[in-house]
Amino acid sequence: MSAYTASNPTIEPAAPGRSVAVSMLGIAANRQIWLVFSAAIFLVTVPVFFEAPLVRSLPLLCVALTGFWIWLSLRLMSNPATYLWGDLLLGFSWSWLTGAIYWGWLRWEPVLHLPVEAIGLPFAIWCLRRNWGKAGNWFYLGSLLGTVLTDLYFYLVDLMPHWRQIMQDPESASPILQNALSNVLTPWGESWALALVVALLTFGLLPLRHRRYHWYAFGGAVLSTILVDSLFLVAALAA
């Protein structure tokens, strides 16, 4: 502080080599932040295409795999070069665990979906209050928010009975999906579907104004809900 001078400092023009280095660092940081965004979208869709089919026949294996994800995430976090990816994977491990528990043993009761998905919420809040694991925990919160909004839509449009039926009788999935679609394709269902999309876009895009890894992890997780929900809609239309 004693060396500080109140006079305006002279700004020296940056050396060409330094300018190039700064520019390259900026490009690398911009690329990585979008990689985090893309990884968040990928990690939300993984349970849909990989965990969901596996957990029906091997639920204990899916729960055990949570330990592997946590071990791998901690290994990655022990290296500064891969810390960010380990952080993101740790948040994913919570989504994986809750999905394994619910879809493995409790999928017949939709009212338990949110409580089970929120098992990791106290841990995520505890970590964020200590400014630790921000990318992973915000990813988990974004994924949870997408689940909350989707389940809210299911309640509002009275799709929960169809959920229960299709879990109890998978062989009758096609007519059940068609009946559920008849609820969606009504003025009430379409209005709330539009509200759902607007809410997901708002919660997903606004954080992207802040160019921070954890906000892009959160935004990617929220926006990927639109993709997952759209896939279920396509399945219902094709039934």
Is 3 a domain residue? no
Query: Which residues, 6+ apart, have CB-to-CB distance to 163 below 8 Å?
Result: 110, 154
φ/ψ of 118, rounded to 5, equals: -90, 10
Is 22 a domain residue? no
3-state SS assignment for residue 80: coil
pLDDT given for residue 20 in this prediction: 52
φ/ψ of 197, rounded to 5, equals: -65, -45
DSSP code string of 20-64 = HHHHHHHHHHHHHHHHHHHHHHHHHHHIIIIIHHHHHH-HHHHHH
pLDDT given for residue 30 in this prediction: 85
3-state SS assignment for residue 103: helix
Is 14 a domain residue? no
User: Closest by alpha carbon to 197, among 209, 189, 187, 208?
Assistant: 189
In the chain, % helix, strand, coil (3-state, to 5) comes to 85, 0, 15
**Tens of each residue's pLDDT in the chain, 239 residues:** 444 444 444 434 555 555 555 555 556 678 899 999 999 999 998 878 888 889 989 999 999 999 999 999 999 999 999 999 999 999 999 999 999 999 999 999 999 999 999 999 999 999 999 999 999 999 999 999 999 999 999 999 999 999 999 999 988 889 999 999 999 999 999 999 999 999 999 999 999 999 999 999 999 999 999 999 898 888 778 86
Query: Which residues, 6+ apart, have CB-to-CB distance to 135 below 8 Å?
Result: 36, 84, 87, 88, 91, 213, 214, 217
Q: Do residues 21 and 28 lie in contact, with contact meaning Cβ atoms separated by under 8 Å? A: no
Q: Do residues 182 and 231 lie in contact, with contact meaning Cβ atoms separated by under 8 Å? A: no
Is 204 a domain residue? yes
Number of domains in the chain: 1
Range of 145's domain? 31-238
Is 219 a domain residue? yes
Q: Please, what is the end-to-end C-alpha distance for the chain in angstroms?
A: 71
User: Closest by alpha carbon to 95, among 146, 149, 61, 35?
Assistant: 146
